[in-house]
Amino acid sequence: GGASWKRVCRKGGKDGIDTACYAGPSCVVVPSPQSADCAYAFNSEYILKTANAGQTWTDMTAIQPDPAKPNQWRGRGWNGWCSQNYVFNPFRRGESMMVAMDGGHGWHSTDGMQTWRYAFGQLGAWQGANDVAFSRDGYIYIATGQQGGNVGVMVSADNGETWTNRYGGSCGLPSRQDGTYGFVWA
3-state secondary structure the chain: CCCCCCCCCEECCCCEECCCCCCCCCCEEEECCCCCCCEEEECCCCEEEECCCCCCCEECCEECCCCCCCCCCEECCCCCCCEEEEEECCCCCCCEEEEECCCCEEEEECCCCCCCEEECCCCCCCCCEEEEEECCCCCEEEEECECCECCCEEEECCCCCCCEEECCHHHCCCCCCCCCCCCCCC
Q: Which of 12-26, 107-121, 153-167 has the lowest mean pLDDT?
A: 12-26
Pairing, β 153-156 against β 140-144: antiparallel
Q: How far apart are CA 87 and CA 33, in angstroms?
A: 10
In this prediction, residue 63 carries a pLDDT of 81
In this prediction, residue 78 carries a pLDDT of 59
In this prediction, residue 12 carries a pLDDT of 62
In this prediction, residue 17 carries a pLDDT of 74
In this prediction, residue 166 carries a pLDDT of 93
Q: What is the pLDDT of residues 51-106, one digit of tens each?
A: 998 888 888 878 888 888 877 878 765 555 678 889 999 999 999 998 988 888 88
Cβ-Cβ contacts under 8 Å for 103 (sequence gap 6 or more): 81, 125, 126, 128
Q: Are 109 and 115 in contact (CB under 8 A)?
A: yes
In this prediction, residue 186 carries a pLDDT of 92
In this prediction, residue 153 carries a pLDDT of 93
In this prediction, residue 113 carries a pLDDT of 85
Q: What is the pLDDT of residues 17-53, one digit of tens each?
A: 777 666 655 678 888 888 989 998 887 777 888 999 8
In this prediction, residue 13 carries a pLDDT of 56
In this prediction, residue 25 carries a pLDDT of 53
In this prediction, residue 140 carries a pLDDT of 97
In this prediction, residue 3 carries a pLDDT of 86
Q: What number is the average pLDDT over the span 143-154?
A: 89
